[in-house]
Amino acid sequence: MSKERVYALLREQTGAFVSGQELSAQLGVSRAAIWKVVDSLRRDGYTIEARTGMGYRLTAAPDTLVEREIRRQLPPEALCPVLHCLEEIDSTNSYLKREALLGAVHGTTAVANHQTAGRGRRSRGFLSPAGRGVYLSTLLRPQLPPKALLGATGMAAVAVCNAVERTAGVRPGIKWTNDLVLAGKKLCGILTELTVEGETGMAESLIIGAGVNVSHSREDFGPGLAEIATSLSLEGHQTSRTALAAAMIEEFSKLADSLGGCLDRWVDLYRRDCVTLGKPVRLLWDSRQTEALALDVDSQFGLLVRFPDGTEQVVRTGEVSVRGMYGYTD
């Protein structure tokens, strides 16, 4: 008898009592065995009420990142053949890079309760305290040339905005190219990593990772980050980490279906959400700083800027600071 079967029977009758005798009969085990499984589920964080003569009633599930709870909220069509729910890992992107080398399939997803070495762009660290955020990555096998995947980071930003809006009731803005912001502070970082097959020149794997700050306090960020980073709870928005993880998986599934096709809808949403547009920006290229005005986002999510001399250029790499955000005020 598995714990999953007992859980499933209690879940089917959420809010109603299921007698120990009924559970025992359906599963073909003793009532003492049922009690032991219920006790184990309680230790996992489930609230299960027991009453003499009535049986057991599931009243609440924990907000922990466990497979049974995440899958319960996924639609059947969502791309997630394998889901690794990790208590602690260096980073979910690094974990999936290792899994990819071992043959992990398209759509394999990893979500962690805690990252010890979370990563952002340019090898920067990403703060990932235990039990505070959703740190999630999905491995894709797109079978496309790298040029067709230039928009993956922008699409991922839109996908996470969709997931946050669906579960927390607020839509973040996007700071070009890969930060989600709320109240002018960083809410989420996104990291996409592409591996190319040497002989064919085609994409071998594309890993899309995102870390969303859900319930971080100012103390979690510390004095340095607290001025530039925030969480959903700090801005007055509550959500279940389980629900957010499921929504992110579903939105990444939609992203996977769109790769190599028309991206107009994704670009339109990105433009709408991009807080960089219309703002003075500072570009950092090869240790050189240049001032410009952000004008638009092109069909591959490149940033069109205008320099003080009137010339215009599309930026695809480098760092872009937006005046009024992250301490850039002069």
Tell me the CB-side half-sphere exposure of residue 206, using CA atoms within 13 A: 26
Cα separation, 323 vs 327, whole angstroms: 8
The backbone region for 67, taken as left when phi is positive above 0, alpha when psi lies in -120 to 50, beta otherwise, is: alpha
**How does pLDDT run across 173-196, given as a tens digit for each residue?**
999 988 999 999 999 999 999 999
The backbone region for 101, taken as left when phi is positive above 0, alpha when psi lies in -120 to 50, beta otherwise, is: alpha
Q: Do 161 and 172 form a contact (C-beta atoms < 8 A)?
A: yes
Cα separation, 191 vs 323, whole angstroms: 23
My answer on whether omega of the bond before 177 falls inside 30° of 0, hence cis, is yes
Q: Do domains 3-60 and 280-322 have the same CATH topology?
A: no
pLDDT < 70: residue spans in the chain? 1, 119-127, 323-330
175: which strand partners? 179
- Around Cβ 195, how many Cβ atoms within 10 Å? 14
At the top level of CATH, the class of 3-60 is: mainly alpha
Beta strands in the chain (DSSP E): 47-51, 55-60, 83-86, 109-112, 133-140, 173-175, 179-182, 185-196, 203-213, 280-285, 288-297, 303-306, 312-315, 319-322
**How does pLDDT run across 41-56, given as a tens digit for each residue?**
898 888 999 999 899 9
Q: Do 312 and 212 form a contact (C-beta atoms < 8 A)?
A: no
**How does pLDDT run across 237-286, given as a tens digit for each residue?**
999 999 999 999 999 999 999 999 999 999 999 999 999 999 999 998 77
Q: Tokens representing 278?
A: 């219309």
Long-range contacts of 187-191 (CB under 8 A, 24+ apart): 187/212, 187/213, 187/229, 187/230, 187/231, 187/232, 188/160, 188/164, 188/212, 188/213, 189/120, 189/121, 189/126, 190/153, 190/156, 190/157, 190/160, 191/93, 191/119, 191/120, 191/121, 191/126
End-to-end CA distance of the chain: 65
Question: What CATH number labels 280-322?
Answer: 2.30.30.100
Contacts of 145 (CB under 8 A, 6+ apart): 201, 202, 203
Can you state the angle between helices 31-43 and 20-27, rounded to 10 degrees?
Answer: 100
Q: What letter does residue 284 receive in the DSSP assignment?
A: E
pLDDT at 276: 95
Domain ranges of the chain: 3-60, 67-273, 280-322
pLDDT at 131: 85
What's domain 67-273's superfamily in CATH?
Answer: Bira Bifunctional Protein; Domain 2 (3.30.930.10)
pLDDT at 208: 98
Amino acid identity of residue 224, one-letter, is: G
Helices (H) and strands (E) in the chain, counts: 9, 14
